[in-house]
Structure 1
Amino acid sequence: MLLFRRKLRLSIVLIVYKMPDQAEKTLLSLSPGYQRGVKSEDYEVIVVENHSDRLLGAERAMRHAPNVRYFHRQETQRTPVHAINFGAAQARGSHVVIMIDGARMVSPGVVRQALDVFRMVPNAAVSAPGYHIGHKLQQVAVNEGYNEEVEAGLLQGIQWPQDGYKLFDIAVLSGSCQGGFFQPNYESNFIGMSVKKWRALGGVNPRYDDFGGGNANLDLYKRLLESADTPYYLLYAEGSFHQFHGGVTTGTLKDERARIYKQLDDQDIAIRGANRKPPTVKPILFGSAHPSVYRFIRHSLDKVSPP
């Protein structure tokens, strides 16, 4: 209990389902031994695992750090939205970060930079760009033989986790972040805000009850960024990196993925009453870029239309 005697600034909620190996790598990447410039008492990680036949379990969840709390839930629906809202309700911090996909490792400066933003601007929204490990988007690469074994070889090639920034060397921007750093994107897997803001938003919309939560994460991201009095900071020099795990939108083959996408989009339209557009808010860029990020800065510049 001594660890949480003083008020925490940040609670990171990580959702896990049928991805034990990938989730353990994510938790290693969130640990104080991997993250730079922070201590375990600066933040907590709340792991919420929906029951499956491939459990991470408490021992593996808490293996790499003393600031991890683990919750195992029985879930009757095929969505993580209830787990997210449950996890956020356990938060001891003044601010919360939502990571809907437990298979996303993060870069080594993301926790410190999120903390720095919230210390300066407590009412800010914070996110980090999303990437896919591999040299193509995983929903494309899976049709060409990409799998966990291929990915393991890529990670071994950069000697991960010795230098987490080398993840940028074996990654591409995710589909929702193809626009780069200088214009709005569709979502993030590292979405941060104050607990007060989270409560005002009402958390994640529980109506997103389809595969993987459907567009629940996009919906949260858009509502947060477009909410009043919410300056938006993009941790452009950091990132979350999706590991292959046979997920709904990245691990299924082309025809099946198209069917699922349509199903999820139909539900999104039914809930929102309109086709989805990215948030209208442009980011305030925050951070100092590692050289591995330079090529993505060039990509982002190429995506900006000249004045």
Structure 2
Amino acid sequence: MTPKQKNQQIIDGLESEIEGLKDSLKAEREKYHKSQIMLDEANALILNEKTQGFAKGPHQFDGLTIIIAYYNIPKHIERTLQSCAPAYQNAAKDKIEVIIADNGSTEPLPDDLQQRFPFISKILRTEGKPSPVFALNAAIAHAKFSTIALIIDGAHILSPGVFKNTREVCQLYHRPVINVPQYYLGKVSQNLNPITDAWKRETWWLNRLEWPQKGYNLFKYALFPSENIQRVLHGAIETNCLITTKEVLEDCGAFDERFDEPGAGYANLEIFSRLTNHADNTYVILPGEGTFHQDHDGTTTRKSPEERDQLVEKFRQRYTEVTGLETLLNLKSPQVYGTLRKSCEKIPTISHEYGQVKQGLLTKLANIYVARARAGIENNFHPKLVAGGLTDEREARPPLKPIGQLPEVAKQFGVEPEAMNYLNFLRRLHEVRQPEIYFEIGVDKGFSMALAKCRCVGVDPAFAVTTPLPPRTRLFKEKSDNFFKQKKRAQRLMGDGIDLAFIDGMHLAEYVVRDFINVEKYCKPGSVIMFDDVLPEQMEMAERDRRFNAWTGDVYKIVPILRKYRPDLEVGVFHTFIGQYRKGLAVVKNPDPNSTVLEENYKDIERGIFEEDYAIDSIEHLDTMMQISSYSEFEKFIAI
């Protein structure tokens, strides 16, 4: 077969695979639409008056007990209390009570709080429980009225029609479960604003909006917490103001106290799903009302995207442990009640807002590029616009001065400095190992993947390839955790198994451990897995929070972790450089796809990462711990 015929065969195979994927996508869409029709039919039965609360008559509304969880937000809760006041809610003085459930705060409430807000009937304090669900459940038992509003984050301001609409809904349904939609207070995501200015900024805006006199003006300074540009209210998975009756809570249960982590994890989502999906309850949404989250140092608000993703993943895992379910399913369609104001329809979603922020950042970076290109900067470095995207990473973060280790290390090993570039080590691995399938996490611009001469699979949520890649390359723009969740696809792509893998993704140790666990499952006997960034030359490079252009994070922890939990593996560590910075390369031989040791011990490993079991106090400490091999030993180590 000629090379041309071979290429044509490959093209025909790819076209066939594409057609197969199209057919699969079409089948999945049809399956999805059928499932939606079935859900609608089921909801139609549930919403039939024979199965609704009408059969027993409406709930006897006698007033509203609002239970507010409090933890170290002494200023913010006063705004929340203002929005619960009978006068603000246009209610009779004796029809609203507030119970504050203090979750062991270190910042006490003001002594005169009940005097200034006389509708506060009780302040209950629960000690020694990091999760607010214990305090909230304790408060439910003290509720004066049979209708209860549960506010798990006490920093939410209510719109002024919550009481009125609740009373009217209770006059329609016997067992209502009411969702007051939640919003962020502000024009941009709160984690993008400095926390030090948050209170002052929000005070200025609330005064400008004439709040609390004009309560519905809150919608003019709000952001909808969804990635869906369509802003679908009925797709909610939680509410920060869940309103229902004592009967429902006694029958279905209140908060599940197994969600005992700080912030309560998925407890609010779980109770929302459990109550709204119950066949005897009527799920109602108030699209014209809302709760508005004030910017404070909450459990997830001030986390970096990576930290927040990590925390949410922990919450998700705990949810699965508690419920036995992998996914939150909110199947019941809501009844919609109340007036939908024009101001509600114009609120941007996170997706739209992030688009605006991204454009603003691009503009700022472009301005930096122009200014510095005109004036020149230290060391004659001029920023470059890469692939029409962001400027070079060194422009986004301050440069960290190299310590000048490269010439010394190269001389020690008797080679030219260029030989120590990490790409030369990768190139040699390809030459010696001759892989049939090469897998890479962290494609970036494609320089390392371009070294391969075989079938390649790459995963990177933000790759921006600027160099030609091998013809049989498949790239997936997603996080590696998500990539491996689609097991059938991964199995099909890996074929007979991975021969050579390069892990250069998220520079945080727990991510690297998960990447190794997932990659090893698809490895052939005798294969090799490499890790980049295991030998930072400066402590600043090894920090978990990135501050400078040169960053390895705490990837180095993978080496002691593997040596502790997997002594069956051969792990070699070698000096490598990128430019003038030492970054290091770890090579792992003979991974075992049948091993479950790391998976079974992952929680202990993760705890060890966060509790600094593998931390270093100096680069000298790191070098000693790593047992670095010499340049000449690399050839022996990678030999088949």
TM-score surpassing 0.5? yes
Aligned residues: 291
Structure 2: runs of 5+ lacking an equivalent = 1-60, 350-640
Match of 1:54 in 2: 107
More helix by share: 2
Match of 1:225 in 2: 276
Match of 1:123 in 2: 175
**C-alpha separation between the residues in 1 aligned to 2:224 and 2:271?**
20
**C-alpha separation between the residues in 1 aligned to 2:197 and 2:290?**
21
* 1:197 equivalent in alignment to 2:248: yes
* 1:173 equivalent in alignment to 2:227: no
Identity of aligned residues (%): 28
Q: CA deviation at 1:174?
A: 2.2
Partner-residue secondary structure (3-state), 1:205: coil
* 1:89 equivalent in alignment to 2:172: no
Question: Is the contact between residue 26 and residue 104 of structure 1 (CA under 8 Å) also seen in structure 2?
Answer: yes
**C-alpha separation between the residues in 2 aligned to 1:144 and 1:102?**
18
Corresponding residue to 1:10 among 53, 64, 67: 64
Change (3 A) 1:207 1:63: same
Question: Is the contact between residue 11 and residue 93 of structure 1 (CA under 8 Å) also seen in structure 2?
Answer: yes
Structure 1: runs of 5+ lacking an equivalent = 1-6, 300-307
Match of 2:213 in 1: 162
Corresponding residue to 1:73 among 112, 125, 134: 125
Normalised TM-score (structure 1): 0.87
Q: CA deviation at 1:105?
A: 0.4
Q: CA deviation at 1:278?
A: 4.3
Partner-residue secondary structure (3-state), 2:289: coil
* 1:249 equivalent in alignment to 2:300: yes
Match of 1:24 in 2: 78
Q: CA deviation at 1:33?
A: 1.8
Match of 2:158 in 1: 106
Match of 1:4 in 2: none
Q: CA deviation at 1:124?
A: 1.2
Provide Cα deviations, 1:46-70, integer angstroms capped at 9, x if missing partner.
1111232212245225523x32223
* 1:275 equivalent in alignment to 2:326: yes
Q: CA deviation at 1:179?
A: 6.4
Partner-residue secondary structure (3-state), 1:20: coil
4+ aligned runs moved over 3 Å, structure 1: 142-146, 175-182
* 1:63 equivalent in alignment to 2:116: yes
Higher-RCO chain (CA-CA 8 Å, sequence separation at least 6): 1
**C-alpha separation between the residues in 2 aligned to 1:160 and 1:41?**
24
Q: Which sits farther off after the overlay, 14-23 or 116-125?
A: 116-125
Change (3 A) 1:165 1:180: same
**C-alpha separation between the residues in 2 aligned to 1:116 and 1:23?**
27
**C-alpha separation between the residues in 2 aligned to 1:248 and 1:98?**
18
Match of 1:214 in 2: 265
Question: Is the contact between residue 284 and residue 337 of structure 2 (CA under 8 Å) also seen in structure 1?
Answer: yes
Q: CA deviation at 1:248?
A: 0.6
Change (3 A) 1:29 1:227: same
Q: CA RMSD in A?
A: 2.5
Q: Which sits farther off after the overlay, 12-21 or 260-269?
A: 260-269
* 1:235 equivalent in alignment to 2:289: no
**C-alpha separation between the residues in 2 aligned to 1:134 and 1:61?**
29
Q: CA deviation at 1:143?
A: 7.0
Change (3 A) 1:92 1:221: same
Match of 1:303 in 2: none
**C-alpha separation between the residues in 1 aligned to 2:310 and 2:268?**
20
Partner-residue secondary structure (3-state), 1:280: coil
Match of 2:96 in 1: 43
Question: Is the contact between residue 103 and residue 130 of structure 2 (CA under 8 Å) also seen in structure 1?
Answer: no
Q: CA deviation at 1:198?
A: 0.4
Corresponding residue to 1:262 among 300, 313, 321: 313
Higher Rg:
2
Provide Cα deviations, 1:78-119, integer angstroms capped at 9, x if missing partner.
110001101111111112111111100000001111111112
Change (3 A) 1:16 1:182: closer
Q: CA deviation at 1:191?
A: 0.7
* 1:153 equivalent in alignment to 2:204: yes
